[in-house]
Structure 1
Amino acid sequence: MRFFSKTANTHARPNVPVLVQVAALAIILIRALDVLMILGLLGPQGMMEFVHRSVQTWALTLVFLASLVLVFVEIWCAFSLIKGRNWSRWLYLSTQVIAAVYLWAASLGYGYPELFSIPGESKREIFRSLVMQKLPDMLVLCLLFVPAASRRFFRLH
């Protein structure tokens, strides 16, 4: 019996471009690091207060649950990218647009909770901070959409 032999049930595509592999791994690592940084920033007591504050109203609960769903969708996209699913890179792009628009709106005072906003004196300063915060995600999107090898991989599968 061979433990490491390929079977018909293997879902990963052969010859996945390195840039796609790097992008998928980066998505997972960025999200894991985000969670760890939030846990480190708030601590256990702060997390309990944040969750308690997030379930005070229906609107806050929906924002909280939507943010969790967004993280899980992004991780699901990362695994689907390796399988060569073209829709996964478009879905990941959509999640980034949604997150950026919400962060921008929340930072300008149109959304809650405060954890999902970027502090700043002016719109320009907030926008600059938002771009800097989303820079890793923009790099991942470039790895998925710009190189010819990545585009070809998703076109063939």
Structure 2
Amino acid sequence: MGFFKKTTHHATLNVPALVQVAAIAIIIIRCVDVLMVFNLLGLRGLVDFVQRSAQTWSLTLIFLGSLLLVFIEILCAFSVVKGRNWARWLYLASQVVATGYLWAASLGYGYPELFSIAGGSRHEIFSSLMMQKLPDLLVLFLLFVPAPSRRFFRLR
């Protein structure tokens, strides 16, 4: 039975720990965000929110866009571990879109209230927004700044 040698070729991907931490953090942050929305609204409030979101095309698009954004971010988490450079840039773009919409909605340019931050002034709103986005900023830091992370994505 020594005539046939069984060989397997598995590509080993040495994912830096910082990239692994960033990917796990993206998934955990999104899951906790969803759980916090469920906790905030409750089952009845969630049903009311979905029903209200389905009343007009613009609200439906915002609701579906927010769900799409969550799925894109989770896709990015799985893709960055595979070394996909486009995934970290897509995650950055998703954060710019989400932060921009939250900022605009908080200043009264968007709807619904769920996607806005309360505050007495622009400065208070901006401070609260940055505090909410701090975990995402840390993830972006882990994906773009450390040399092992940059090298990992450059090699792919």
User: TM-score, normalised to structure 1's length?
Assistant: 0.92
Aligned residue for 2:13, secondary structure, equals: coil
Match status 1:141 vs 2:140: yes
Which structure 1 residue ranges, 5 or more long, are not aligned? 1-6
Equivalent residues, number? 150
- Equivalences for 1:47-126 in 2 at 5 Å? 47-126=46-125
Letter in structure 1 aligned against 2:70: V
Cα displacement string for residues 80-106 of structure 1 (whole angstroms, at most 9, x for unaligned residues): 000000000000000000000000000
Indicate the residue corresponding to 1:45 in structure 2.
44
| In structure 2, C-alpha distance between the alignment counterparts of 1:92 and 1:140, rounded to whole Å | 10
| In structure 1, C-alpha distance between the alignment counterparts of 2:39 and 2:105, rounded to whole Å | 22
Which structure 2 residue ranges, 5 or more long, are not aligned? 1-7
| In structure 2, C-alpha distance between the alignment counterparts of 1:62 and 1:106, rounded to whole Å | 15
Aligned residue for 1:33, secondary structure, equals: helix
| In structure 1, C-alpha distance between the alignment counterparts of 2:110 and 2:139, rounded to whole Å | 27
Cα displacement string for residues 6-64 of structure 1 (whole angstroms, at most 9, x for unaligned residues): x65x68x5110000000000000000000001101111001000101111110000000
Indicate the residue corresponding to 1:3 in structure 2.
none
List structure 1 segments (4+ residues) > 3 angstroms apart after TM superposition. Answer: none
Aligned residue for 1:14, secondary structure, equals: coil
Indicate the residue corresponding to 1:151 in structure 2.
150
Letter in structure 2 aligned against 1:120: G
Indicate the residue corresponding to 1:24 in structure 2.
23
Aligned residue for 1:150, secondary structure, equals: helix
Larger CA Rg, structure 1 vs 2 = 2
| In structure 1, C-alpha distance between the alignment counterparts of 2:37 and 2:16, rounded to whole Å | 32
Letter in structure 2 aligned against 1:81: V
Aligned residue for 1:63, secondary structure, equals: helix
Letter in structure 1 aligned against 2:60: T
Letter in structure 2 aligned against 1:58: W
User: TM-score, normalised to structure 2's length?
Assistant: 0.93
| In structure 2, C-alpha distance between the alignment counterparts of 1:84 and 1:14, rounded to whole Å | 8
Please report how far the alpha carbon of residue 154 of structure 1 lies from its aligned counterpart in structure 2 after TM superposition: 0.1
Please report how far the alpha carbon of residue 110 of structure 1 lies from its aligned counterpart in structure 2 after TM superposition: 0.5
CA RMSD in angstroms, aligned pairs only: 1.4
